[in-house]
Structure 1
Amino acid sequence: MTLKTGEKAIDYIIDEMVRVVKSSKNEIFNISEHARHEYDTLQIELEETKRLVLQYINEGDSLERKVRASRKRLAEVSKEFERYTERDIHQVYEDTHNLQTELIMLREKEENLRKKRDDIERRLISLYDTINRAEGITSKISVIENYLEEDFSQVNELIESAKEKQAFGLKIIEAQEEERRRLSREIHDGPAQMLANILLRSEIIERSLNQESVEAAVAEIHSVRKMIRTSLYEVRKIIYDLRPMALDDLGLIPTIRKYIGNLIDYHDIEIDFVVIGEEKRLHHKYEVALFRLMQESVQNAIKHADPKLIQIKLQIQRENVVMIVKDNGKGFDVNIKKEDSFGLVGMKERVDMLSGDIDIKSELNAGTTIIIRVPYIITD
């Protein structure tokens, strides 16, 4: 009875956390959209204000020339007062006064528009910063939301006791791998097949258009076909990243070789893979964990270190499996903890769940070496 009550309490807490996170995400999204709308409106207003400022500047410059000419005329009249009638003198004074008044008013409008322009530009900078911060927060909240919904959706079924932490962690990994397998099948049977069909149809259209010599249309179809091929490659790459099917069929070592081959084709980089010991299959959960650890290590190197060479060594020993991933990239200071370093944290958690240890050695401009050692009894 106490256990069921505790499970209900945990469910309530998780549901409430998910609800609050979703609500906060929606509120921040609304703030971001409102700010973006205001930003677009102000951009239009800024362009119009700049146009008016330029217009007033040109009109003011023209009016100043008229004022100078009128003043010159006034000086001439004043100098030779007796040559002009009273009406002429009055008209010259009045014209000069009117022009000066008009110029003052125009310059005042110009100054007000300049202040308005500067104020709009300051507001745009503030709104741009608000939009960026809102999008950043939304992205982080999405990570939290996914973590709560995916990793803790079956927490009560997995937690049996505090002593079963290792088994609990391995079950989470297995659940994640099952989800990747499902997504891989869905994408393979859906988007990938659809893109292949579109490619086939484009070839049929090309043949039809060729008969009528519509060269421009044919050229456009060539371009579309190239984009479709690229999309098809990307979808299949996503499928492979989600769940390499070769891992189930062939095992860890052939899958690593295939994965490395794909990376070499996609990136301008040299990757060496060496296996020491008997090439035999390991237990499924160890193959999955070691592949993901290798994948995360290599992806981190490519993404952050810009290396020319990555070396992967897998040692299958009698009582241990050791994996070493070394690159000659930029390296980093291991004593400085970076924010949002979820990749390394996830690697450490995977290794802990297998009762293994991970050692990360790196120096700036000297590359990085990751050594993973997992206990595993090889049976004859």
Structure 2
Amino acid sequence: MTDSKILDKIINQTLETVDQSREQIYEIGEQSRNELQALEKELKEVRMKVASVIEKTDQTQQYARFARNRLVEVSKAFEKFTNEEVRQAYEQANNYQVQLAVLKQEEIQLRERRDQIERRLINLKDTVERADQLAGQMSVVYKFLSSDLKEVADVIEDAREKQAFGLKIIEAQEEERKKLSREIHDGPAQMMANVMLRSELIERIYQDKGIEEALNEIRDLRKMVKSSLAEVRRIIYDLRPMALDDLGLIPTLTKYLKTFEEHNQVSVVFQHFGKDKRLPQHYEIALFRLVQESVQNAYKHAEPNEIQVKIEIKPNKVIMIIKDDGKGFDPSEKKEGSFGLMGMKERVNMLKGEMQIQSKVQAGTLVIIGVPLHSAHDE
């Protein structure tokens, strides 16, 4: 067997082992996630049962108090009551005491089960997170080993930089999926679960405290639903602004940059020149993402007081300028954040455009992007 065939065999065996390990890790993660969901459902039911038992206990204590008072009344004037009335008074008082004992024992058991579930949930969440992380790492390894590195080397001169960038892209994809999952679970899903729990309490509040308190609870509930809806819309908007399809690039950028300014407390000055015309869809998406990534990079890394965004749409070209007055950086030094700039360069290259980055330490950063539009008419 030649050395080449031996290497191919080793690579194939390695890929098979990595793939099998990845599948096993994925199965562990899925099993843990299914158990996690089942336990979260059970925890919700147990909490509702605890609340129900507490309510029953309160009612039974009240009835038991009435029964004890009745028994005291009978005991003080024994001769005024018949034997049957005396017997009923004793039995009723005793029955309520037995019910209270049973309810308290049930409450203790439910609380113990609740605590067990909560402890198990902590361990399961850790297992799911570790499994997702390992599965992501294994996916990175598998895709890296099975990719054609020769094609990558032809596109970028520095092979190490290209390999690292490829790994960063795959890691970013995995991280983005996890981030989206966490945002939905910790945001809208959690809030809707709270809405369900609080909605079940409204009837009890109405019975105990009256209509006004119940209406206040409904108002709070409406605010929670409104907040949850806003969070869902934000997540959808981050994935892809729907206004881009309906309104076009300039109105969508105007809305996005205004929202960005309000949420992040940084001044954003937006100017556009030329005719506000619709561009091919893939151009509008790419140009929007370039501006989005530029302002997010500036806000995240430069700590600016102001970000300026200018865009000019010419008949055959789009020119975009993004400038900030932040702390800047030395373009000759490669940093962790430089992968964001590399991603922007890749996006510009796909549009057959050009990008220039000018920056100095403590002197801000200037990004100039030029994208030709003639190819859109040629297609």
TM-score by length of 1: 0.49
The structure whose Rg is larger is 1
Greater length-normalized contact order (CA 8 Å, ≥ 6 residues apart): 1
